[in-house]
């Protein structure tokens, strides 16, 4: 047995659709063609083809391609290439402005940080791969003995023994199992995220071999198709660029245009004399600080800090950040689109109701059902169906419970408790209840089988050809499984044909959704009404039916069914047609109602999102009544809100009339089915989305996975606002990947949604803290960080522009050498970056007052207005510092450099201190460290600064006056604004 399915022999994690690795060249990236192959068993003379080692490799680069690959991925972007060209221009004598390290050192620092980050990620991947590739597996030798080779040395065409709960090491053919039933259960959670157990059968001829050693005498071959490289189909998402990054890029483009325009103005004021194009290039170099080279590194490092904070938050344990590039998206969500089952609910099914048409049994009357079952199997003669006589309630209950106990894909598995009980077959023979668990793909089926066990009819054994039930009296009923028609999302039903070994009766059982079963069962006058009643109670309803078959009828069906399965053309259609010929005039037995309870704290979380100005839409595949009931229970629809149920429409005219009726209603929640939604979007897409976006809540039932993704894309196009999709199952993956921010919940349906999401949480209630606290903080911190990086660059650029203007537009640098490098690194980097620790309110306040979140959805912390304000502040402060230094210096030019540069450093540190709202001890350390670093470095900067001048009283008062004039008016304006027009968060902190 194994807990995983086979992996590809060689697997490379891909970042795109192509089968070749992206990169600067084939040598760097090692492109490889993958072809089909034939594997020979028992034919050593035909083993000529060479194959690579069976190792997993999730690294993007190898030892030789790492540095070229990282550099290529950095310089393929315009601004990185722009900074590289600036640095290279210093090799041209006419353009050189000073020491080479003036431009190369900042670029090297940025690249160094990127290389270190990539190296750390590659080392982590290497360690994880090495751990998997070094696992020990058992190999079957020629003597039939077992040896234990190292997993890294696995070669092609070896036979291995996989033990219970052991990972399968490679692509393998299932030849033999120790289980007497000839079946094995696997889990595929490491590939596609599905955690349910799946039955697999070995090759028939190899399973029947007397001893294991006979496997080595096989002479055969295996055709292996071309390996599939679409790993991203299951795990992760394509690299995303968030809205915040797009806005920052837009601002960078504006600054770049400003740089070019300002340089042209400087040259124009020189009247384009001489070799003006060289002066233009020199001015671009001199003013290049307008476009900050370090903004991308600062923001990327900030995102890493935000992701670390999310993972370390003890109040949302188990949260995983899979897309660390978009944490700011969490702070600007306007629409949350959520699944129902497993997302708002626990996906822990509990049987609640059995309805037979004339009588209904709830949890308070299960004793009566149990007594009917007990009497049915303890009478001298087992009850039999009498077609011409009205059946008694006891007979109908017995038939319904028997159908539920037989019509499923559940398999009982017996777990051993110690070394003395290691034979699973013996445990199954004894049918011990203490060590039996049920395995199935659907929790609904497990709930139904557990319910039949609770009333006395227990599923105790099953393999691919038989099933055993135990009656309340301990008698074992044996049934042969003739055919199984598994459940699919398209058919919405499953069926099974069994033969009672004691009576020889052949019966076809079926269960499914009411929408498909209504056309299959015989006419009745209660099915549709009772399905609606049970759905309004919030129950998941299944319709159970049966059909008795004679031996001749079954043989005729089997012949047609086998013939259809052997068809070469249209096989699926022909098989479905044969099955549908059997699904006619079936006898309706009962309705089952299973309850899926709400998760903890769903109601306060939805209320919090609503108070934050976020609209919540529920997209579910359940029927209308169930979805509406769940929405009411979860308070997605408040008590004082009306609900407009969009009636079923099939054509354009009906959709037009219903939309007009809906238009006349105000402030009401909308409930619409997937079929009606499809018609509305086909003919009236704009009108429907306009009306739906005005609703406080929208519930879409019977919604297909493709429709969920379509709704998100329409919201993005029509509203231009950010969406967040929350789901837990494989049918939510398309919705999660289409949204601006995908949140997956690790649920009982598997990890598909979690693996495909940007953020993975364990419970829906964690979404509130993820958005209100971490999303809000991440966005506000990144906005402040980017503004200060821009402010820092514009200040020194403004001073350079003023300096050149004063000296007749000469293209000579104000600061050279280490002063330029130190300004944006050791002197100001740490205080500016410490803003990633700042917060305007405590996390408890942000959770208590979700209204604070509303301000962020409009993007005000980083918009053109705030950008313009910071540009004006930078121009003001840069101009004051430069003009102040020029006015106050005595005679020597080095005094201008000393006064202006010191004032610039102090102004930047003081501006950061005035902006911080909640001090952290690391912020104090950053401020003191930067200031002390500058003071200490003055001793070594005698080439640029007069050391004797900076210790005079004249220097101190001049720097103090300039710094106060540049900062004090801004502080006064900020105080007055906070006093007379305070922001919303300040009202809670004052």
Q: Is there a binding annotation on residue 340?
A: yes
Whether the CB-CB separation of 186 and 159 falls below 8 Å is answered with no
Q: Is there a binding annotation on residue 322?
A: no
Is residue 339 annotated as a catalytic residue, yes or no?
yes
Sequence-distant (6+) residues with CB within 8 A of 892 are 946, 949
Sequence-distant (6+) residues with CB within 8 A of 312 are none
Residue 423 tokens read as: 């034979």
Give the integer Cα–Cα distance in Å for 877 and 961. Answer: 13
Q: Is there a binding annotation on residue 842?
A: no
Residue 140 tokens read as: 């079957």
Instruction: Tell me the three-class secondary structure of 441-503, residue by residue.
Output: CCHHHHHHHHHHHHCCCEEEEECCCEEEEECCCCCEEEEEEEEEECCCCCCCEEEEEEEECCC
Q: What is the DSSP string of 682-708?
A: HH-HHHHHHHHHTSSEEEEES--HHHH
Q: Is there a binding annotation on residue 620?
A: yes
Q: Is there a binding annotation on residue 367?
A: no
Q: Is there a binding annotation on residue 731?
A: yes
- If you ran DSSP here, which 8-state letter would residue 770 be given? I
- If you ran DSSP here, which 8-state letter would residue 229 be given? -
Among residues 905, 945, 911, 954, the alpha carbon closest in space to that of 799 is found at: 905
Residue 360 tokens read as: 């209904």
Residue 270 tokens read as: 């020189």
Give the integer Cα–Cα distance in Å for 725 and 737. Answer: 8
Residue linked to tokens 């790993």:
231
Q: Is there a binding annotation on residue 621?
A: yes
Among residues 660, 616, 676, 659, the alpha carbon closest in space to that of 641 is found at: 616
- If you ran DSSP here, which 8-state letter would residue 343 be given? T
Residue 815 tokens read as: 């600061």
Give the integer Cα–Cα distance in Å for 727 and 860. Answer: 30
Q: What is the DSSP string of 145-210?
A: -EE--BGGG--SS--EE--TTB---SS------SSTT--EEEEETTTT-EEEEEEE---HHHHT-S
Buried b (16+ CB within 10 A) or exposed e, 723-737: bbbbbbbbbbbbbbb
Give the integer Cα–Cα distance in Å for 71 and 60. Answer: 13
Q: Is there a binding annotation on residue 511?
A: yes
Q: Is there a binding annotation on residue 702?
A: yes
Is the alpha carbon torsion for 81, 83, 89, 95 positive or negative? positive
Whether the CB-CB separation of 164 and 152 falls below 8 Å is answered with no
The torsion region of residue 394 among left (phi > 0), alpha (psi -120 to 50) and beta comes to alpha
Give the integer Cα–Cα distance in Å for 437 and 447. Answer: 12
Please report, for the chain, how many H helices and E strands are present, in that order. Answer: 35, 29
Q: Is there a binding annotation on residue 325?
A: no
Q: Strand runs (DSSP E) across 735-812, as ranges?
A: 741-745, 759-761
Which of 196, 339, 596, 740 does the annotation list as catalytic?
339
Burial class of residue 796 in the structure, from the number of CB atoms within 10 Å of its CB (0-12 exposed, 13-18 middle, 19+ buried): buried
Q: Is there a binding annotation on residue 633?
A: no
Q: Is there a binding annotation on residue 728?
A: yes
Whether the CB-CB separation of 495 and 482 falls below 8 Å is answered with no
Residue linked to tokens 């903080």:
777
> CA–CA distance from 30 to each of 120, 231, 785 (Å)?
21, 18, 39
> CA–CA distance from 367 to each of 372, 382, 455, 967 (Å)?
9, 20, 8, 81
Q: Which positions make up the binding site for ATP? A: 339-341, 445, 487, 511, 540, 620-622, 702, 708, 731-732
The binding site consists of 339-341, 445, 487, 511, 540, 620-622, 702, 708, 728, 731-732
Q: Residues annotated in the binding site for Mg(2+), as ranges? A: 339, 341, 728, 732
Residues acting as catalytic residues:
339
């Amino acid at each position: 047995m194994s807990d995983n399915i086979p992996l590809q022999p060689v697997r490379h994690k891909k970042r795109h659709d192509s089968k070749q690795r992206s990169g600067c060249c084939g040598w760097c990236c090692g492109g490889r063609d993958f072809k089909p192959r034939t594997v020979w068993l028992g034919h050593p003379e035909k083993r000529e083809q060479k194959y690579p080692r069976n190792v997993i490799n999730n690294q993007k680069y190898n030892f030789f391609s790492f540095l070229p690959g990282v550099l290529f991925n950095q310089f393929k972007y315009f601004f990185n290439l722009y900074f590289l060209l600036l640095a290279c221009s210093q090799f041209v004598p006419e353009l050189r402005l000073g020491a080479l390290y003036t431009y190369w050192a900042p670029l090297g620092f940025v690249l160094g940080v990127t290389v270190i980050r990539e190296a750390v990620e590659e080392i982590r991947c290497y360690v994880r791969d090495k751990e998997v590739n070094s696992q020990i597996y058992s190999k079957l030798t020629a003597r039939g003995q077992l040896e234990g080779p190292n997993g890294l040395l696995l070669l092609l065409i070896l036979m291995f023994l996989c033990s219970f709960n052991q990972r399968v090491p490679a692509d393998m053919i299932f030849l033999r199992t120790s289980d007497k039933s000839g079946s094995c259960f696997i889990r595929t959670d490491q590939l596609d995220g599905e955690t349910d157990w799946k039955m697999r059968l070995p090759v028939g001829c190899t399973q029947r071999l007397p001893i294991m050693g006979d496997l080595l005498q096989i002479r055969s071959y295996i055709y292996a198709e071309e390996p599939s490289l679409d790993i991203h189909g299951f795990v992760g998402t394509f690299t995303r660029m968030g809205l915040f990054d797009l806005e920052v890029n837009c601002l960078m483009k504006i600054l770049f245009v400003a740089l070019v325009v300002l340089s042209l103005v400087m040259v124009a004021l020189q009247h384009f004399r001489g070799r003006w194009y060289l002066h233009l290039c020199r001015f671009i170099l001199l003013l290049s600080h307008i476009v900050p080279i370090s903004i991308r590194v600062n923001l990327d490092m900030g995102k890493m800090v935000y992701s670390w904070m999310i993972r370390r938050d003890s109040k949302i344990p188990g949260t995983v950040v899979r897309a660390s590039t978009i944490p700011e998206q969490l702070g600007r969500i306007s629409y949350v689109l959520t699944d129902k089952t497993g997302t708002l609910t626990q996906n822990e099914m509990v049987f609640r109701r059995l309805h037979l048409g004339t009588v209904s049994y709830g949890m308070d009357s299960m004793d009566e059902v149990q007594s009917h079952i007990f009497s049915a199997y303890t009478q001298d003669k087992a009850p039999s169906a009498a077609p011409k006589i009205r059946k008694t309630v006891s007979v109908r209950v017995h038939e319904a419970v028997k159908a539920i106990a037989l019509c499923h894909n559940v398999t009982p598995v017996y777990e051993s408790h110690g070394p003395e009980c290691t034979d699973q077959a013996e445990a199954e023979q004894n049918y011990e209840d203490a060590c039996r668990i049920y395995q199935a793909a659907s929790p609904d089926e497990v709930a139904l089988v557990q319910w039949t066990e609770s009333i006395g009819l227990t599923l105790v054994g099953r393999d691919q050809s038989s099933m055993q039930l135990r009656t309340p009296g301990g008698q074992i009923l044996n049934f042969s499984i003739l055919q199984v028609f598994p459940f699919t999302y398209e058919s919405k039903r499953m069926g099974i044909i069994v033969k009672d070994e004691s009576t020889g009766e052949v019966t076809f059982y079926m269960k499914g959704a009411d929408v498909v079963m209504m056309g299959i069962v015989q006419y009745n006058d209660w099915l549709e009404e009772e399905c609606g009643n049970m759905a309004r109670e919030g129950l998941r309803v299944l319709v159970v039916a049966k059909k008795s078959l004679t031996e001749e009828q079954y043989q005729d069906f089997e012949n047609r069914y086998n013939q259809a399965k052997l068809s070469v053309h249209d096989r699926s259609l022909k098989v479905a047609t044969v099955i549908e010929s059997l699904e006619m005039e079936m006898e309706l037995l009962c309705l089952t109602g299973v309850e899926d309870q709400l998760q903890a704290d769903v109601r306060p979380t939805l209320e919090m999102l609503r108070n934050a100005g976020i609209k919540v839409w529920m997209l579910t595949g359940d029927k209308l009544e169930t979805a509406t009931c769940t929405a009411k229970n979860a308070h997605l629809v408040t008590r004082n809100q009306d609900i407009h149920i969009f009636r079923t429409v099939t054509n354009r005219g009906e959709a037009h009339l219903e939309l007009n009726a809906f238009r006349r209603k105000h402030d009401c929640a909308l409930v619409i089915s997937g079929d009606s939604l499809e018609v509305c979007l086909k003919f009236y897409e704009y009108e429907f989305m306009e009306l739906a976006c005005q609703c406080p809540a929208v519930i879409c039932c019977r919604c297909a996975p493709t429709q969920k993704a379509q709704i998100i894309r329409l919201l993005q196009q029509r509203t231009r606002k950010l969406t967040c999709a929350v789901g837990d199952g494989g049918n939510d993956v398309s919705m999660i990947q289409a949204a601006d921010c995908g949140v997956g919940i690790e649920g009982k349906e598997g990890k598909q949604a979690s693996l495909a999401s940007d953020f993975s949480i364990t419970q829906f209630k964690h979404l509130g803290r993820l958005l209100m606290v971490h999303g809000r903080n991440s966005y506000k911190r990144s906005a402040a960080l980017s503004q200060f990086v821009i402010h820092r660059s514009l200040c020194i650029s403004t001073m350079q522009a003023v300096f050149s203007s004063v000296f007749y537009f000469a293209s000579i640098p104000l600061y050279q050498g280490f002063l330029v490098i130190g300004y944006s690194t050791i002197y100001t980097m740490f205080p500016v970056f410490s803003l990633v620790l700042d917060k305007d309110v405590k996390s408890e306040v942000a959770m208590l007052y979700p209204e604070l979140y509303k301000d962020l959805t409009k993007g005000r912390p980083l918009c053109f207005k705030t950008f313009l304000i910071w540009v004006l502040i930078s121009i003001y402060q840069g101009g004051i510092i430069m003009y102040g230094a020029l006015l106050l210096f005595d005679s020597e030019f080095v005094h201008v450099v000393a006064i202006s540069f010191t004032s610039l450093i102090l102004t930047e540190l003081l501006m950061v201190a005035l902006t911080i709202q909640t001090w952290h001890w690391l912020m104090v350390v950053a401020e003191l460290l930067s200031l002390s670093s500058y003071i200490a470095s003055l001793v070594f900067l005698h080439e640029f600064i007069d050391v004797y001048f900076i210790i005079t009283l004249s220097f101190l008062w001049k720097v103090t006056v300039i710094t106060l004039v540049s900062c004090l008016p801004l502080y006064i304006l900020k105080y007055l604004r906070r006093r007379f027009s305070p922001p919303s968060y300040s009202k809670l902190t004052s």
